Amino acid sequence: MSRYAAMLLLLMTQFLPAPSLDASTHCMSSKERIKVLDQVWRLIGEKYYDPSFNGVNWNVLHDHYRAGVQNAGCDDGLYSILREMTASLHDAHTRFRSPLERERARRLQATTPGLSISEVDGKPVIVNIEPDSEASRVGLEAGMIITSVDDLPFSRRVSKVSEEVGDSSSRRARLLLTYYEVLAGEPGTMVRLGVEREDGSTFQVDLPRHTVPISPPLVSRLLPSGYGYIKFDMFRESVAKQFHEELAKFKNAPGLIIDIRGNPGGEFDGVLGVANNFFARRVSFGRIVARSGKGPSLMLRILGVPSELEVGDSSAQVYAGPVIILVNEASGSAAEVFAAGMQENHRAAIVGRQTCGCVLGSVAHAVKGGGEVDISEFGILTASGRKLEGVGVVPDVGVPLTLEDLRNHHDATLREAVAVLNASNRVATEALPRR
């Protein structure tokens, strides 16, 4: 394992649009394909954090998929089978990546047609449009409903993809994976979408897929309310340093809003680095539990996996005011560890929607043929001993996503966060002694 592979312990790169098939036509022999299957199966069997494999009979699966690999076409058939085999563990972090997907992950890139969709009021709805993309130029807007993909009714397309994705850590995780895969494809290829406007009229658009960075630049600004606002899309050590610098500008602000909606995770160092800014004394953000039921193995510790997640120091605290953290179903992994740690230590209120419930630590392993498999090698418990995997973080104040808000360009979650801070500050002011 490389040091880089060990650093991406909590990053859910499989939640990013990726090609379902490699563009190359390279074909391993049947014997070589079997070796790759055996290697992936053995690695998971030796290292998976749960010796019961989430209730899956791992030996039976090996025999089942071995027959399929022998009859697979070229390498893309093998990769499809390996994705299906790893997905059978119902674990969003344990996933196989083909050589092309591995390379894209190394470059921290994803592919997109310039928009993202989610289920809103039971419908597949555009929830975000990339600025300056072809999607924005052809008139697509948040709140529009997707009716078809590549001339297939959306219901048929999503049903097929959902079967390929299989179960995951939670229903929210499966839905995220499914909707991402519906739009997946190679950069430069086109996807045709059927779209319904608010008035019921429909039209079709052809959109090119292109690469985007997984981690856009951190956004920081002072809101009209006077509260500080910081948004970032990955927990990395470099982002934590930038966060520290931006937070210093808001140290006297009457409130702070941290937006980690859509943040899929990152590194332990990133989580602890961001959290350090809010505590004047040492507190627990949780602990690591390995397959043995104890702390991480010597190998994992060498690779930088701590036994205890602790933050805080009198010299490190930058901000002591009230904090609100914004989350949604696409807040995963390291983002959930951060939100839970701040919530359990009564340092922040959580506003938004229940998070993904995808909280395991994975390590990437290279395999024959150039692909790699991420394996969940340890679990993470909160400071109070709660398991977040499959559950997620439940907000203190829930804010549903509605078609009305999307169509009116209202950020109801941010608006609610401001209201919570206003109420908190009123209570604090009224509690002051009167002269």
pLDDT attached to residue 147 = 97
Tell whether the model's pLDDT for residue 271 goes beyond 50.
Answer: yes
Q: For the chain, what is the mean pLDDT? A: 88
DSSP code of 393? Answer: P
Tell whether the model's pLDDT for residue 55 goes beyond 80.
Answer: yes
Least trusted range by pLDDT, from 153-167, 345-359, 371-385: 153-167
| Confidence at 433, pLDDT banded by 50, 70, 90 | low
pLDDT attached to residue 25 = 55
Cβ distance 88 to 44 under 8 Å? Answer: no
For 179-188, how does the pLDDT look when each residue is reduced to its tens digit (9 = 90+)?
988 998 888 9
Q: How far apart are CA 30 and CA 26, in angstroms?
A: 13
Closest Cα to residue 21, out of 181, 167, 211? 181
Residue 173: Cβ within 10 Å count: 28
pLDDT attached to residue 108 = 66
Instruction: Give 246: exposed, middle or buried? Use CB within 10 Å, 0-12, 13-18, 19+.
Output: middle
In this prediction, residues 337-345 reach a mean pLDDT of: 98
Q: How far apart are CA 321 and CA 278, in angstroms?
A: 9
All structural domains of the chain, each given as residue ranges with its CATH number in brackets, are: 3-108 (3.30.750.44), 110-213 (2.30.42.10), 219-362+376-430 (3.90.226.10)
Angle at 16 between CA 11 and CA 386, to 5 degrees: 40
For 196-226, how does the pLDDT look when each residue is reduced to its tens digit (9 = 90+)?
999 999 999 999 999 887 777 899 999 999 9
| Confidence at 10, pLDDT banded by 50, 70, 90 | low
DSSP code of 75? Answer: H
Instruction: Give 114: exposed, middle or buried? Use CB within 10 Å, 0-12, 13-18, 19+.
Output: buried
In this prediction, residues 232-249 reach a mean pLDDT of: 95
pLDDT attached to residue 18 = 41
Do strands 349-352 and 397-398 pair parallel, antiparallel, or not at all (unpaired)?
parallel
In this prediction, residues 79-99 reach a mean pLDDT of: 90
Q: How far apart are CA 226 and CA 140, in angstroms?
A: 33
Residue 8 structure tokens: 């991406």
Long-range contacts made by residues 62-70, C-beta under 8 angstroms, separation at least 24? 62/37, 62/38, 65/37, 65/41, 66/34, 66/37, 69/30, 69/33, 69/34, 69/36, 69/37, 70/30, 70/33, 70/34
For 125-175, how does the pLDDT look when each residue is reduced to its tens digit (9 = 90+)?
999 999 989 999 999 999 999 999 999 999 999 998 887 777 788 889 888
CA atoms within 13 A on the CB side of 52: 3
Tell whether the model's pLDDT for residue 375 goes beyond 60.
Answer: yes
Tell me what percent of the chain is helix, strand and coil, each rounded to the nearest 5.
Answer: 35, 25, 40
Tell whether the model's pLDDT for residue 34 goes beyond 70.
Answer: yes
Q: Which residue has the higher pLDDT, 166 or 229?
A: 229
Query: From edge to edge, which strands make up the β-sheet containing 323-327?
Result: 219-222, 228-231, 256-259, 323-327, 349-352, 397-398
Percent of the chain with pLDDT over 90: 64
Whole-structure pTM value? 0.88
Instruction: Give 74: exposed, middle or buried? Use CB within 10 Å, 0-12, 13-18, 19+.
Output: middle
Q: How far apart are CA 263 and CA 330, in angstroms?
A: 7
Least trusted range by pLDDT, from 252-256, 389-393, 422-426: 422-426
H/E run at residue 205: strand 202-208
DSSP code of 238? Answer: H
Cβ distance 319 to 2 under 8 Å? Answer: no
Q: Which residue has the higher pLDDT, 20 or 383?
A: 383
Tell whether the model's pLDDT for residue 8 goes beyond 50.
Answer: no
Cβ distance 303 to 6 under 8 Å? Answer: yes
Residue 285: Cβ within 10 Å count: 24
Tell whether the model's pLDDT for residue 72 goes beyond 90.
Answer: no
pLDDT attached to residue 15 = 45
